[in-house]
Structure 1
Amino acid sequence: MLVVGFFIKMKLLNPYISLVSAMAGAFLHELLYFFAGKWKGRQILLRNRHTRREYRRAKKLLQKYGVLSIFIIRFLYGMRIVPMMLMGATGFGTGKFIFFNLISLFFWAVIYLSIGYFFGKAAEHFFGQAKEYYFAAVAFLILVLFVVLIYPKLMDKWKKA
């Protein structure tokens, strides 16, 4: 989303199409997990140690905040699949889920696209008019994020396997 906001700044992507696409993708993803939760959510979530732990955390969050938990979950890293399944498993109303999920998706997409857009402004100021460096900067940013966020997790999984 941040990179998409960056590309919007560079006028390579349409902001409205990007916003709708981001929302649609996340919405379909979460709707699938919601209905999987309605189907066999509790059995799936209690199957292994990791999802059992996330199940307990998500259940506490849902009990404490109710509908507002949809907005909270949206911004918690690593806490999207389990709560969506849990909402389906606990009988959270489908219409209510769709309505509040779409509202939270809108805010989520606008915030992240805006951060990327303003990063694009900062990058433009930093790089000046040298547009050929934008793609190098984005590639470098993606590489740094991969090394910092994803690589350690992959190494942990490989060590455990």
Structure 2
Amino acid sequence: MIENFEQLLNSYGYLAVFVGTFLEGEFALLVAGFFIKHGFLEPLPTLIFSILGALVHELIYFFLGRWKGRHFLLGNKYTKRKYRKMKSLIQKYGIFSLFIIRFMYGMRVVPMMLMGASGFNFYKFLFFNILSLIIWAVLFLYIGYLFGHVATMLFGEAKHYFFIVGMVVAVIGLLIYLISFSYKKIKA
């Protein structure tokens, strides 16, 4: 079973990192950091694919913001409330608000759309967004790596435990994501 998992990670691990950071972000990085610690993934490609996944996600919303941002953001109560909060943050800190927003869980869509809708210079946005993504990805990959280190201390070098722990963490993260996503849909 472990061999199949290793083979799966060797074939699709970086694609999974890309998709994970495209969809959610922090949790995907924690799991990827765990797998880096145990040799299932290499650090540099994991970092690159995690940054690319999040960047593609945010560029989509940035350009969606350019296209129909204000109309969409002011169209329902949920995004209208977040719109006001993010607008004041962006007005106060400008492009540096990307660094603040990066570490506010659940705030990836509205700020990117708002920056697109408010006419931020694309190249300036791209530069500071990539810079903040690098800091974000390194931090969360390192935390996942430390989690993997703790798992090694608890379970030794038994790879089948790493698979079980990794899968339990992945399932719990997926459940949290689905519950959060459902809650937002119900609330909206």
When the two structures are superposed, what TM-score results if normalisation uses the length of structure 2? 0.79
The answer for the alignment partner of 1:99 in structure 2 is: 127
The answer for the alignment partner of 1:29 in structure 2 is: 57
Change (3 A) 1:157 1:118: closer
Question: Hey, what's the Cα distance between the residues in 2 that align with 1:150 and 1:73?
Answer: 19
Greater relative contact order (Cα 8 A, min sep 6): structure 1 or 2? Answer: 1
**Which of 123, 138, 145 is residue 166 of structure 2 equivalent to?**
138
Shift of 1:160: 6.6
The alignment status of 1:43 with 2:67, answered yes or no, reads no
Runs of 4+ with deviation above 6 angstroms = 157-161
Give the alignment of 1:13-28 within 5 angstroms.
Answer: 13-28=41-56
Change (3 A) 1:157 1:112: closer
The alignment status of 1:117 with 2:145, answered yes or no, reads yes
Identity of aligned residues (%): 51
What is the number of equivalent residue pairs in this alignment? 160
Unaligned regions of 5+ residues in structure 2, if any? 1-28
Shift of 1:144: 3.4
Residue 67 of structure 1 aligns to a residue whose secondary structure is helix
Q: Root-mean-square deviation (CA), in Å?
A: 1.9
**Paired letter, 1:4:** A
Unaligned regions of 5+ residues in structure 1, if any? none
When the two structures are superposed, what TM-score results if normalisation uses the length of structure 1? 0.91
**Which of 97, 106, 112 is residue 69 of structure 1 equivalent to?**
97
Shift of 1:90: 0.7
Shift of 1:150: 3.7
The answer for the alignment partner of 2:180 in structure 1 is: 153
**Contact 2:63–2:113 under 8 Å retained in 1:** yes
The answer for the alignment partner of 1:52 in structure 2 is: 80
Shift of 1:145: 3.6
